[in-house]
Structures are given as C-alpha cells and as structure tokens.
C-alpha cells in the first residue's frame, strides 16, 4: 500500500499532448491544446467523510491517516509528481452542438500505477475553477457529491461498467447553488469526490479536435487511445476497428442500464465514455414505477430526450456524432456500416439479458414476443420495476385466477389495478408460466439465473435524499447503511430497503426530479 503523498505518479497524457501550461484559470477558448494546467483551489477544512476501502485495496492506496493526505483529497495539497490539468473537449448537449466544454469542475491530478502495472487516473470533482468552468465556480455541493460517490460504487457492485469513487471529503466552505435554476439560490455545504477510472476520455474529446480541424491532434489522440486502452487493435484499419469496439461496448452499457432500470438523465456526447463506462453522475435515477418515458432531469423537460426508454436510441445517435468526428481519418461509408451494426448488437444483447431476467433457457422468436408483452404491460400498470422482477423469481408455477395474480404482485404496485389492468397482468403471467413449463433447465437453475440478473436493492433517489438531509444535520447512520447495502445488491441482507417509493417522495424536490446542478 502506498501513500497518496509519496507515490510517484505517471503523467502520460500531459507528457504526450500539447497543453496550455500557463496555469491561468480564466475561462477562455483553448484552440490547439488537449488540456490546460489547473491546480486545485484550496478549501477551508478538508475532512474525510467516506473512503472506498475495497477500491483502495485494489489500487494499493493507503487510507489517509494524516491531514496532509486528506489535503490531497480536498485539493489543498499536490504531491510532488502530480501535474494537475483539466481536459478540453466539446459535445452535443440535448441534441445541439455546444462547442468547447471541457472539465469545468473536474481536475485530473495524475495517473496511479498499481503493482500489477495497471494505470488509473485520479480526478477531483469540485476542486475549483478551470479554464473550462465558463461562468461557474468549479465547486460541488455535498448533495451532488454524495450522489456521485454512492452511485459510482453502487453501479460497480451491480456489475455495470462505471467510473469509480475513492473518497468523499467535506470542504468546510459554503457553495451557492440554484438547484432548479428558478431563482431560489441558497448556500450549501461544499464537498469533493475523488473519481477513479482508467480514462475519462469522452466522445467529446474527439469531436473537439474534428470541429477545430486539428487533424494531426485527432490522429495522435486516436493512436494514443488505441495503443493504451485497446492494445489488441492494430493494423491499417485500427481506427475503424476501434470504432466498432466502441459501438459494441456502448451497446453493452445500454443493455446494463436497461437491466437495472438506471436512467442517466443527461446523455450528452461529452458524457459518453470511449471505454464504455457510465460517466458523470448528475440528475440520474433508478426507475421506481416502470415508465419508459421517465426522465429524472428537469432540464430534459418537456421533450424527455433522455428518458429511460430512449437511452438505447440516444446512444446510437451519440455514436453517430463520434463517427462524424472520425471522418478526417476513416472512410464515411465504412463508418456508417460500422455504426449500423449497433442495432443488431444491441438487440441481440438486450434479448439475451431479458431472457436472463425472466429465467429462460434460450431466446426464440416467440420469446421476443413475450418480452415485448412484458414491456408493454409493465408500462401500462407501472409496478415497481425492482420489486416486480423480484416477485417474479418466486412466482408460483400454477395461478388460477386474476385476483390471485393481482394479490401476488400487490407489493410492487403503486396504484390499485383497474379490471382491464388486472386482466392484462393475468394474461401475461399465464403466458409466462406456460413458457416456464417449457424450459429445458430446472426451476432452481432458472431462479438462480434471475437472482443474478435482477437486483434486489437499488439506490433509490428518496434514500439518497434522506441520507443527504441527515448528513447536512450532522447524522450519518443512513449514509453508512447505504454504503454497505450498495455492496450487496442481489441478496436479501438489506430488505429494510425493499419497499416501494413512499408517497411523500413522489413530488419532493431531490426525490422525484433533479436538475443538471444536482
């Protein structure tokens, strides 16, 4: 285990590419460079609130035992070999080209190499302004930092590709935020998350270089990215082959989001990882009641571009933007052909995943019809997605009446079923039971498959809201319980949280809807 202070950090990105080394934090355009030097701005009193011990052990990082080490996590101290910077990238936001964006409140400190030779970027979110902060302060509040810290780790334990979170510190400072952009700004406690990933490269990094017609920089970034993160890809067509793999990884990520009911909330191209990771946790949510049209982001209303059911198609659209950025170095027709493979890849992976959720031995044409029936009827009756699929695992193999079926799923319902909905659910269950009886695998094997695929615990927004309120009042019991629960989402060990969203949380700010500042 090594200390955050004494570690000799690598800085391959900074040493490979041209950057603005002035250290000037004034917001500005930075053509010709891939990053700008940005040293974190000190805060009043960094205090360690949370530490991901399992991740630290994986990386070989010693838990901070001195204030000097905690100061690194809070941006008040930089290790001698760190070369902190903010990356320059662009993006399409809500379907529109936004031009230069960049790390507005994230600062990468350096690259940590493990004993096994793997390299991870360490990044502080909320450590102060950068040249890409535009009109913002580069800070983060406790509310958004708790959400990012817990959800990063929750997604990891769910088995969803994601960036990670190593630490959460409070800063001792107050930060002014208008949570819903409605003129009701208030001061909130500040905090900083240390994020960890092999890379934070986004679609937008490549879009920026193409938009500025910096083709040499584009080629250089592509060569570096492929050699570093896709070393198995070589040859004259390596950029095309790389894009094909990004398409595949992105399709896989969307399937995982749909599996657990995760809604990102702001799927701009600058929030899409070229490694196929979930990145940038802002106004996210898990589904409570099953609603394909649900978006947790107030900024996404009324169009609901990034709603749960639209995420796979938005990923395809975003991949199209990445393909456009590669046009200077790859043939257009080849890129389009590679892009079009997304649909086949996604649906193959999606139906296989849904087969696992339903405990099916294999997927045939009739099963695709059954899966569609599940989607349509769940969207109609809107049961709690997580609880419904948990109840489905132990569904009795023989159910005779509509009332029997309705009573069995009652714990997952937010509203009483109408006669029409009761009939729909009964027909669905009857069809499903007929299919289960044709399984070539034993019932126990089918149930085991379902238990591995369907989480029993999800990090619901109302739980996060309650934990944040407690932390702001000096209590941390719920926060500590959630830290443990996220590590074991497929067991019954945390069934104290196995219940539908309470009625009071349906309209409460921070529980039902959030904004991009959340």
Mean pLDDT for 80-105 is 97
Q: How confident is the model over 476-485, as pLDDT tens digits?
A: 999 999 999 9
C-alpha angle 116-59-38 in degrees, rounded to nearest 5: 110
Q: What pTM does this model have?
A: 0.96
Q: Is residue 359 within 8 Å of 389, Cβ to Cβ?
A: no
Looking from the CA of 177 toward its CB, the CA atoms found within 13 Å total 21
Given a cut of 70, is residue 139 above it in pLDDT?
yes
d(CA 479, CA 495): 16
Where does 230-331 have alpha helices with state H?
Answer: 238-260, 311-325
d(CA 305, CA 297): 10
Residue 396: exposed, middle, or buried by beta-carbon count in 10 A (0-12, 13-18, 19+)? exposed
Q: In the chain, where are the structural domains located?
A: 12-200, 204-355, 362-438
Q: Is the dihedral of CA 488, 489, 490, 496 positive or negative?
A: positive
d(CA 171, CA 167): 13
Q: How confident is the model at residue 212 (pLDDT cuts 50, 70, 90)?
A: very high
Structural tokens at position 155: 């997604």
Mean pLDDT for 53-67 is 97
Percent of the chain at pLDDT > 90 equals 93
| Annotated catalytic residue within 20, 71, 103, 270 | 270
Mean pLDDT for 391-399 is 95
Q: How far is CA 232 from CA 227, 238, 505, in A?
A: 8, 10, 48
DSSP string, 101-141: ---SSEEEEEEEEPTTS-EEEEEEESB---TT-TTS-SB-B
d(CA 118, CA 164): 15
- 45-74 burial string, b = 16+ CB within 10 Å, else e? ebbbbbbbeebbeebebeebeeeebbbbbb
Q: What is the pLDDT of residue 178?
A: 78
- 270 carries an active-site annotation: yes
Q: What is the pLDDT of residue 176?
A: 86
Q: How confident is the model over 143-172, as pLDDT tens digits?
A: 999 999 999 999 999 999 999 999 999 999
Q: Is residue 127 within 8 Å of 75, Cβ to Cβ?
A: yes
For the chain, the straight-line distance linking the first and the last C-alpha, in angstroms and rounded, comes to: 34
3-state secondary structure of 166: strand
Percent of the chain at pLDDT > 70 equals 98
Q: What is the pLDDT of residue 518?
A: 47
Q: How confident is the model over 419-476, as pLDDT tens digits?
A: 999 999 999 999 999 999 999 999 999 999 999 999 999 999 999 999 999 999 999 9
3-state secondary structure of 93: strand
Q: What is the pLDDT of residue 510?
A: 74
Mean pLDDT for 196-213 is 98
Q: What is the pLDDT of residue 180?
A: 66
Mean pLDDT for 391-402 is 94
Q: Which residues contact 475 (CB under 8 A, 6 or more apart)?
A: none
The continuous run of DSSP H or E covering 282 comes out as: none
């Amino acid at each position: 285990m090594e200390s955050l202070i004494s570690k000799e950090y690598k800085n391959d990105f900074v040493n490979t590419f041209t950057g603005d080394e002035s250290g000037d934090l004034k917001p500005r355009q930075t053509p010709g460079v891939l990053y700008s030097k940005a040293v974190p701005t000190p805060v009043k009193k960094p205090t360690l609130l949370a530490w991901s011990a399992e991740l630290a052990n994986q990386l070989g990082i010693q838990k901070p035992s001195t204030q000097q080490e905690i100061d690194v996590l809070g941006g008040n101290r930089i290790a001698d070999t760190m070369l902190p910077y903010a990356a320059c990238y662009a993006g399409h936001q809500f379907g529109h080209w936004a031009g230069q964006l960049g790390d507005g409140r994230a600062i990468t400190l350096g690259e940590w190499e493990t004993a096994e030779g793997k390299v991870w970027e360490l990044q502080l979110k909320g450590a102060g302004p950068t040249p890409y902060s535009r009109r913002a302060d580069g800070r983060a509040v406790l509310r958004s930092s708790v959400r990012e810290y817990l959800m990063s780790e929750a997604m990891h334990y769910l088995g969803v590709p994601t960036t990670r979170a190593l630490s959460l510190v409070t800063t001792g400072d107050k930060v002014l935020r208008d949570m819903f952009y409605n003129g009701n700004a208030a001061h909130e406690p500040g905090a900083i998350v240390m994020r960890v990933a092999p890379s934070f490269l986004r679609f937008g990094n490549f879009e920026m270089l193409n938009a500025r017609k910096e083709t040499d920089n584009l080629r250089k970034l592509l060569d570096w990215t492929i050699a570093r993160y896709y070393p198995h890809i070589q040859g004259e067509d390596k950029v095309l082959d790389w894009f094909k793999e990004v398409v595949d990884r992105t399709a896989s990520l969307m399937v995982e989001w749909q599996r657990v009911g995760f809604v990102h909330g702001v799927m701009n191209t600058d929030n899409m990882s070229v490694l196929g990771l979930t990145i940038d946790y802002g106004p996210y949510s898990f589904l409570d009641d099953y609603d394909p049209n649900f978006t947790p982001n107030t900024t996404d209303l009324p169009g609901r571009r990034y709603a749960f059911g639209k995420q796979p198609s938005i990923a395809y659209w975003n991949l199209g933007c990445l393909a456009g950025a590669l046009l200077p170095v790859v043939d257009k027709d080849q890129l389009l052909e590679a892009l079009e493979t997304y649909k086949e890849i996604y649906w193959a992976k999606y139906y296989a995943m849904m087969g696992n959720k339903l405990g099916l031995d294999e997927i045939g044409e009739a099963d695709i019809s059954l899966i569609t029936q599940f989607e349509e009827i769940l969207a109609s009756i809107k049961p709690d997605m997580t609880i419904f699929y948990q109840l489905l695992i132990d569904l009795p193999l023989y159910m005779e009446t509509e009332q029997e079926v309705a009573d069995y799923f009652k714990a997952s319902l937010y509203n009483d079923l109408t006669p029409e909905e009761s009939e729909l659910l009964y027909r669905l269950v009857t069809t499903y039971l007929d299919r289960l009886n044709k399984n070539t695998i034993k019932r126990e094997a089918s149930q085991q498959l379902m238990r591995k695929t369907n989480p029993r615990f999800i990090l619901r927004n109302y739980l996060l809201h309650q934990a944040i309120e407690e932390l702001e009042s000096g209590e941390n019991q719920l926060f500590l319980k959630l830290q443990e629960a996220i590590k074991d989402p497929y067991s019954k060990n945390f069934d104290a949280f196995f219940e539908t969203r309470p009625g009071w949380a349906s309209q409460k700010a921070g529980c039902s809807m959030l904004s991009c500042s959340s």
